Amino acid sequence: MSKENRLAGLQLGPDGRIYIAQRGHQFVSRINNPNAAGSACGFEREAVKLLDSTACGFGFPFVMASTLGPQLRAVSQDVCVGDTAHIPLAGAFITDSVVWDFGDSTSPTNVGYGRTGTHFYSAPGAYFVTATMYVGSQPEKPVTAWVYVHPNPVAVASAARDSICPGDTVQLVGSGGTGVKWYDGDSLVGTGKRIVYRPDSTTTLTVIVESAFGCLDTTSVTVRVKPAPTVSLVSDTSVCAGSITTLKAVVTGATSYSWSSNPVDPSLTNNGPSATFTARANGSYTINASGVNGCIRSKTIRVTVLPLPTVVARGDTTICRPSPVSLSATGARSYTWLDEGGGSVGIGASLTVTPQQTTKYVVVGVDSNGCTNTDTVTVTLRPDIDLTVAGDNISCDGQPITLVCSAPSGVNESDIMWLDETGATFATGKSITVLPTRRTVYRATLPGAGECTDTVVHEIKVGTRPQFTVTPTDTTVCAGDTVVVVSSTGKVITVPSQPGSSRIAITEEDSVGCATTMESWIRGITPDAITASLRDTTVDIGNGATTLHVNIIAPQQFVGTTLGQVVLRVTHQTRSIKIDRFIDARTGATLPPSMQGSLGDRSQFEVTVPTTTLTSTTEPLLNIEGLPLIDDDSTSSVDVQILSIAGLGACTDSSSKGGLLTITGCGRGYMSGLRVGSALSVKAYPNPTSDNLTVAVDVGMIGTITIDLIDALGQKVMSSTTTRTSTSRSIDTHVIDMQNIPAGTYRVVVSTPMEVRTVGVVRR
């Protein structure tokens, strides 16, 4: 306690109240309701005023109870405005009547009678009450009491909103006292000056406000609950994944609707009181229905998405003709089979069908939750397909082979598969190019065709073309002569030559058929086709040196060709002309003779003219410069003989062609003429030969005969000579030993002073 408010004593009074004496104060405080806690105890600081200059000391005086004996007293009261005070008399007393003065002088009922004083006080205040008891007609000493009339609180209550939507809350505020209680009918719904209340319908709440003493005042406040739409929605449900689900709410009193989902479902479509979505994941869906007064009623449903069964159909196949096919399905509890048109073809996990055409079957599987899923199986009816493969069967020297597979019309040839020997697919399409390194078997087929197509087999063998040569590769012989063509592998072909060009082919193959063909060209020339001539010449001895012109004459077929070197033999009478030099008619170059000799009264020269290109059938070949030797008119001959033309063998005219040389002294002369020497005939046998070769020479002359054996390269292999001493015609034979000579083609060249003949022979 503070110094200004020192407690001196507490005393329970006979009226049931506690009185408090405080040292130095001229009043006594009182607790009117000792059994109430807090402000409800009704503490009054200056409850009883003391006489002037009288102050409390150290508490109340001690009174011995034994000295008090019975005492009459009136019990003081505390009431509220509007309450009726009932003032009892306490103690033992005898009385005939009691007269009460309630201290309320303005009240017409201020005087009362009876053992208990009863009075209605209409205004707050402290009223001094006396009770006078009468015994008979004599009044006793009055007893007194105080009636304290406390003012009532003024109850005030209000709502933050006078109308709300169902389910909303409203804040209520009460004032006017120290305590506020809120009642919905007889039910206490809250205490305190502020409460939050959620009424289910329009409700009037009774508000009781209590003062600190406990006086009450009552008021009311009404909260109107506006009507809201009614919404009913099915309870939580389960749907199958992927199904298009519609939620339908039964709604009344709504003017607008909205749907939402959690998590957000992009497939949700708002259709007024109903909504549609594609079930993909578990979630909740809420409808909000708005009424005309703006109140919203919501309802939420939880949707569980059930997985679909994994239905697997088996039986995809290709058949060549209508035949039974077994279909089966797994992954569900029950199955229904449909054709492409949706018609039922059976039920159950397995089914046998016999389609008459390519048909697609759909199986609908249902699981224990009623969710369905489908799978498809196709039975393809394909007609028999015959494939053919074209391409070489032999690859020679690493040659790539192109294989082309053909199928009947209507078949997509790009689907053709090519298989190797292991059965693995290495290419697709109509054609392929392969490069096998060994014997390989390739197969062509169509995927998925089953028995409807055969698998075409194509075998390719691998080989190497033989390498060999033939001799000769190109030769020119006299038409009618026998030509022997020999290969390096030992194959020999003997053919008679024909006029013109002939092709002889020799083919060699390996074990698989890889072949090499080598050619030998044989050019047959008509005997005596090319010859040389000396133009008849008349000279006047008085003119001195003269020139004789030698031409080469060839058939038209040789015009434009180039001849090899031409070897000529020139014979003349020594008494008629002295030859100084030989000149190339084309270039003017001097050609030294390779041989010069005498034969009786005649002189001989051999002259080689270089390569000559024929521009016409008669081509200038050689010019002979000489000096006439006789001074009288005379005629002599100059003979020209072609010994050989490189590459033409003995088909040239090797007989001597004479040109007349007429020498005049006094202007006289002779007509020109032509003299031809005797003919030489040569044969060789046996031909071909592997042993001895006999050469028969038929000639009529005196002189040396030379026999040469020339190989294909123009080299002289063997040579022999013999001398004739008679002009009588006879056949001389000569034997050539061929045993040690390599196989091949050769020429036998027989030369006399007048002629040269060549015969082709073969050594096997």
Residues 207-222 pLDDT 10s: 999 998 889 999 999 9
Q: 526-530, 532-536, 606-610, 650-654: which range is least confident on average?
A: 650-654
- The amino acid that residue 752 corresponds to is T
Distance CA 366, CA 572 (A): 127
Q: What's the pLDDT score for residue 53?
A: 55
Residue 2: band (very low, low, confident or very high) from pLDDT cuts 50, 70, 90: very low
Q: Is the pLDDT of residue 632 over 90?
A: no
Answer yes or no: do 143 and 29 share one domain: yes
Is residue 453 in some structural domain? Answer: yes
What is the side-by-side order of every strand in the sheet holding 595-599?
537-540, 657-664, 634-645, 566-573, 602-609, 595-599
Between these two residues, 529 and 710, which has the higher pLDDT value? 710
Q: Minimum mean pLDDT among 229-243, 263-277, 577-591, 663-677: which range?
A: 663-677
Residue type, 545: A
Q: Do residues 146 and 160 both lie within one domain?
A: no
pLDDT of 658 above 60: no
Per-residue model confidence (pLDDT) at position 264: 93
What is residue 92's predicted lDDT score, i.e. its pLDDT? Answer: 66
711 neighbors 574 (Cβ within 8 angstroms)? no
Q: Residue 755 has what pLDDT?
A: 67
Average pLDDT over residues 151-161: 92
pLDDT of 206 over the 90 cut: yes
Distance CA 684, CA 736 (A): 10
| Prior bond of 263 cis (ω within 30°) | yes
pLDDT at 599: 60
Residue 291 has pLDDT above 80, yes or no: yes
**Total domains, the chain:** 8
Higher pLDDT, 23 or 640: 640
Residue 667 has pLDDT above 80, yes or no: no
Q: Is position 238 within any domain?
A: yes
Pairwise pLDDT comparison (596 vs 739), residue with the higher score: 739
* CA gap 47, 500 in Å, rounded: 172
Q: Are residues 633 and 739 in the same domain?
A: no
Instruction: Give the tens place of pLDDT for each residue, 710-756.
Output: 887 778 889 998 888 776 778 888 899 988 888 888 888 888 766 67
Question: Is residue 521 located within the same domain as residue 553?
Answer: no
One DSSP character per residue, 499-513 reads SEEEEEEEEEE-TT-
How far is C-alpha 504 from the geometric centre of its chain's CA atoms? Answer: 60
Confidence of residue 569 (pLDDT cuts 50, 70, 90): confident
Angle at 67 between CA 66 and CA 73, to 5 degrees: 100
User: Of 57-66, 164-173, 506-515, 580-589, which range is least confident?
Assistant: 57-66
Rounded Cα gap, residues 345 and 356, in angstroms = 14
How crowded is residue 619: how many other Cβ atoms within 10 Å of its Cβ? Answer: 18
Indicate the average pLDDT of the chain: 83
pLDDT(567) > 80: yes
Nearest to 750 by CA among 712, 720, 717, 715: 720
Indicate if the pLDDT at residue 676 is higher than 70: no
Q: Give the pLDDT score at 401.
A: 92
For residues 698 and 723, give the distance between their C-alpha atoms in angstroms, rounded to a whole number: 13
Q: Which of these three, 381, 411, 436, is where a domain ends?
A: 381
Residue 450 sits in the same domain as residue 491 = no
- What's the rounded Cα separation, in Å, for the pair 85 and 78? 8
Residues spanned by the domain of 339: 312-381
Task: Tell me which residue has tokens 């001196």.
Answer: 8
Query: What radius of gyration, in Å, describes the C-alpha atoms of the chain?
Result: 79
Instruction: Note the pLDDT of residue 45.
Output: 81
Contact 412, 481 (CB under 8 A): no
What pLDDT does 729 receive?
72
CATH of the domain at 206: 2.60.40.2470
Identify the band that residue 75 occupies on the pLDDT scale cut at 50, 70 and 90: confident
Distance between alpha carbon 384 and the CA centroid of its chain, in Å? 34
Q: Give me the percent of the chain exceeding a pLDDT of 90.
A: 36
Residue 127's pLDDT is what?
A: 94
Distance CA 254, CA 275 (A): 16
- Examine the pLDDT at 63 and tell me if it is beyond 50: no
- Amino acid making up residue 138: Q
Tokens representing 51 are 């006489």
Of the candidate ranges 91-100, 352-361, 659-668, the one whose mean pLDDT is the lowest: 659-668
Which has the closest alpha carbon to 162: 217, 207, 199, 208? 199
With beta carbons less than 8 A apart as the criterion, state whether 287 and 258 touch: yes
For residues 178 and 210, state if they share a domain. Answer: yes
Mean pLDDT, residues 482-510 taken together: 83
Three-state SS string over 54-99 comes to: CCCCCCCCCCCHHHCCCCCEECCEEEECCCEEEECEECCCCCCEEE
- Residue 672 inside a domain? The answer is no
Query: Given this model, what pLDDT does residue 59 score?
Result: 66
Looking at the fold, whether 612 and 536 belong to one and the same domain comes out as: yes
**Same structural domain for residues 137 and 256?**
no
What pLDDT sits at residue 346? 93
Specify the pLDDT at position 750.
86
Q: What is the reported pLDDT for 3?
A: 44
Q: Are 555 and 631 in contact (CB under 8 A)?
A: no
Domain-located, residue 319: yes
pLDDT at 581: 87
Class of residue 530 by CB neighbours under 10 A (exposed 0-12, middle 13-18, buried 19+): buried
Query: Which pTM value belongs to this model?
Result: 0.37
565 within a domain of the structure (yes/no): yes
CA angle 308, 313, 315 (to 5 degrees): 175
pLDDT value for 601: 64
Q: Which residues contact 664 (CB under 8 A, 6 or more apart)?
A: 538, 539, 540, 541, 633
* Single residue among 150, 182, 205 that ends a domain in this structure: 150
Report yes or no on 674 lying in a domain.
no
Q: Is a pLDDT exceeding 50 seen at residue 289?
A: yes
669, part of any domain = no
pLDDT of residue 754: 61
The CATH number for 393's domain is 2.60.40.10
332 pLDDT exceeds 60?
yes
> Is 330's pLDDT higher than 90?
yes
Cα atoms in the 13 Å half-sphere on the side-chain side of 121: 28
Q: For the segment 437-484, what is each residue's pLDDT rounded down to a tens digit?
A: 899 999 988 876 556 667 889 999 999 999 989 888 877 666 767 788
Mean pLDDT of 422-432: 90
* 250 and 189 together in one domain: no
Kindly state whether residues 417 and 555 are assigned to the same domain: no
**Could you tell me how far CA 658 lies from the centroid of its own chain?**
94
3-state SS of 392-410 is CCEEECCCCEEEEEECCCC
The percent of residues in the chain predicted with pLDDT above 70, rounded, is: 84
Q: Are residues 37 and 84 in the same domain?
A: yes
CA-CA-CA-CA torsion sign (188, 193, 198, 203): positive
**DSSP per-residue codes, 358-426:** -EEEEEEEE-TTS-EEEEEEEEEE---B--EEES-SEEETT--EEEEEE--TTS-GGG-EEE-TTS-EE
Same domain, 356 and 392: no
Residue 1 reports pLDDT greater than 80: no
At 380-420, the pLDDT tens digits run 887 677 788 899 999 999 899 999 998 887 778 888 899 89
Assess if residue 322 is contained within a domain.
yes
Q: Which of 177, 200, 225 marks a domain boundary?
A: 225
